[in-house]
Structure 1
Amino acid sequence: MTSPEMTVGDLADLLSRCDRDAPVRQAMNPFFPAAHRLAQVVQSVDQIGRTVVYLAEGRDENSQFGHLPPEVAVALTWQEPVQAPPRRPRRSAGGK
């Protein structure tokens, strides 16, 4: 990618490496990572006359899938890799 913004060509190149039958979801909000279903692609013109393409989520209540899988948030560098704390031995019923 040569410009600070991803272009349609950049997106097409990245998508060409993916499984064509895989559903497309959008990762949103690095502070509360969630996955959303894409429903529309809309082309418009911005304030300076540049053509811009928008990817939009659906309008129904099933458009948001909930939390983003942790490995995706880590790959996006939205979260640090986290390991579960070590398990402590269980105490017996006698409190020992």
Structure 2
Amino acid sequence: MTSPDMTVGDLIALLSDCDRSAPVCLAMNPFFPMAHRLAQVVQSADETGQTVVYLAEGRDEDTQLGHLPPEVAVALTWQGPVQAPPRRPRRSAGGN
């Protein structure tokens, strides 16, 4: 049986393809997608004694970076791709 939880090994494997100098942010709240600055990594144990690693946002007021870029929300399947509505011809000043 496989666990639905991402492991540290899974995270390292996913990060290994990324630019090592890029900042790391947390994508939070699929209903109001925001980006947050990652500040800490803490290892602890849960109530069953299993080791768990927590990624935490910072406490500074600039920790929340703003809205998540739409392409990221789409890639996370938190939002569907949005297309602009088709343009209608403009009416002339004479009402035609």
**TM exceeding 0.5:** yes
Q: Tell me the residue number matched to 1:55.
A: 55
Q: Tell me the residue number matched to 2:87.
A: 87
Q: CA deviation at 1:53?
A: 0.5
How far apart in 2 are the matches of 1:56 and 1:89?
51
Q: CA deviation at 1:18?
A: 0.3
Divergent runs of 4+, >3 A: none
Q: Secondary structure at the residue paired with 2:61? A: coil
TM-score by length of 1: 0.92
How far apart in 2 are the matches of 1:91 and 1:60?
51
Q: CA deviation at 1:3?
A: 2.4
Unpaired stretches in structure 1, ≥5 consecutive residues? none
* Pairs within 5 Å for 1:1-96: 2-96=2-96
TM-score by length of 2: 0.92
Q: CA-to-partner distance for each residue in 1:22-45, whole Å, 9 max, x for gaps?
A: 110010101111111000001111
How far apart in 2 are the matches of 1:87 and 1:31?
28
How far apart in 2 are the matches of 1:61 and 1:29?
18
Q: Secondary structure at the residue paired with 1:61? A: coil
Unpaired stretches in structure 2, ≥5 consecutive residues? none
Aligned length: 95
| Percent identical | 82
Q: Which amino acid counterpart does residue 61 of structure 1 have in structure 2?
A: E
Q: Which amino acid counterpart does residue 78 of structure 1 have in structure 2?
A: W
